Amino acid sequence: MKKIFVTGGAGYIGSHVVKALGERGLEVLTYDNLSTGHAEAVLHGQLVTGDLADRALLRKTLSEYHPDAVIHFAAHIEVAESVANPLKYYRNNTLNALNLWEVLRELRLSNVIFSSTAAVYGIPQDNPVTEETALAPINPYGASKMMSERLLADLAAAEKGFDYVALRYFNVAGADPQGRIGQKYRNATHLITRALKTAKGEYDRLQIFGTDYATPDGICIRDYIHVDDLAAAHLAALDHLAGGCGSDIFNCGYGHGYSVREVVDVARRVTGVDFCVEEAPRRAGDPPALVADSGRLRAATGWKPRHDDLEFIVRTAWEWERQLA
């Protein structure tokens, strides 16, 4: 596979995958409406500014480019916003994904990698979470991604030769170690980014939601994966499809977690700032722990993480935040 079409490639995760594709020497075309992405984050290939809802432009672009594979990132990602405005999420995350799947079918294009999420699991009873864990999303964001996965699975079952890989991300963090790209959201919601912006003085305090969970320190535990390791998982998924291995679903995480308090301690150590932390009541729907079993991804593709170190993850994110300042 030499020609890759990437939706949402100007966003945080998408831009890191575009970087990895370009560094491998692949030809890349990014399709992004730039609603949350940034044109300067696309380090390789061409950029077409377009929306997945614009079916005519989408079909024209795909028809002319005729990629060997499609990687689909373009989506809204804020859980709280999805609860407040669910139709926005179903329209963009599910209906626009359906738009893309239909155009791919019309043009007889195959080999899709879909950016999914651990939010499809909701509040799992057991950790680490495997791909066989029941899907029970508790918010429209997770539900919209689950629906898109189901559409892909049904299409693959109906269309011989149409193969896909869905990658279920756990907590993605960090930035390009060379400082070229990183998280640049207008409204930071991710814990590590929020903590670092608090250290910079953009927020007066960082809130910890819930201190009475059944975990070692009473605080929620999450599995944090460096964005470059996640990008490498996408390349591994491409190789999986190119090798004729068929459709599959893989969890993307390290297989162990850190509590919010542990992340705060590392953020304080990396930044040298003893920023203010405020304990607050639990948020509805927060699972006590969410840790990935990524054994299937490792066994099927040979993927091996290179940055499984929380301090490295936080340090790369901090260096990026300092550049933004």
| Residues 184 and 101 occupy one common structural domain | no
| Residues 73 and 107 occupy one common structural domain | yes
pTM summary value: 0.97
Q: What is the pLDDT of residue 164?
A: 98
| Residues 186 and 88 occupy one common structural domain | no
| Residues 86 and 216 occupy one common structural domain | no
Mean pLDDT of 274-302: 95
Tens digits of per-residue pLDDT, 259-268?
A: 999 999 999 9
| Residues 10 and 99 occupy one common structural domain | yes
Residue that finishes a domain, picked among 252, 269, 301? 252
Cα 100 to Cα 51, 72, 104, 107: the distances in Å are 11, 9, 6, 11
| Residues 112 and 212 occupy one common structural domain | no
Cis peptide before 128 (omega within 30 of 0): yes
| Residues 85 and 52 occupy one common structural domain | yes
Range of the domain at 42: 3-172+224-252
| Residues 238 and 316 occupy one common structural domain | no
| Residues 133 and 198 occupy one common structural domain | no
Residues with a known catalytic role: 141
Tens digits of per-residue pLDDT, 45-59?
A: 999 999 999 999 999
Number of structural domains, the chain? 2
Q: What is the pLDDT of residue 185?
A: 85
Residue pair 307/226 in contact by the 8 Å Cβ criterion: yes
| Residues 242 and 93 occupy one common structural domain | yes
Cα 129 to Cα 118, 119, 169, 190: the distances in Å are 9, 11, 12, 21
Single-letter code of the amino acid located at 274 = D
Residue that finishes a domain, picked among 252, 272, 291? 252
Q: What is the pLDDT of residue 81?
A: 93
Bridge partners (DSSP) of residue 206 are: 277
For residue 135, the domain's CATH number is: 3.40.50.720
Mean pLDDT of 100-109: 98
Query: Percent of the chain beyond pLDDT 90?
Result: 97
Q: Is the pLDDT of residue 186 over 80?
A: no
For residue 219, the domain's CATH number is: 3.90.25.10
Tens digits of per-residue pLDDT, 291-312?
A: 999 999 999 999 999 999 999 9
Residue that finishes a domain, picked among 207, 237, 252? 252
| Residues 308 and 237 occupy one common structural domain | no
Residue pair 161/147 in contact by the 8 Å Cβ criterion: no
Mean pLDDT of 56-85: 96
Residue pair 74/95 in contact by the 8 Å Cβ criterion: no
| Residues 68 and 105 occupy one common structural domain | yes
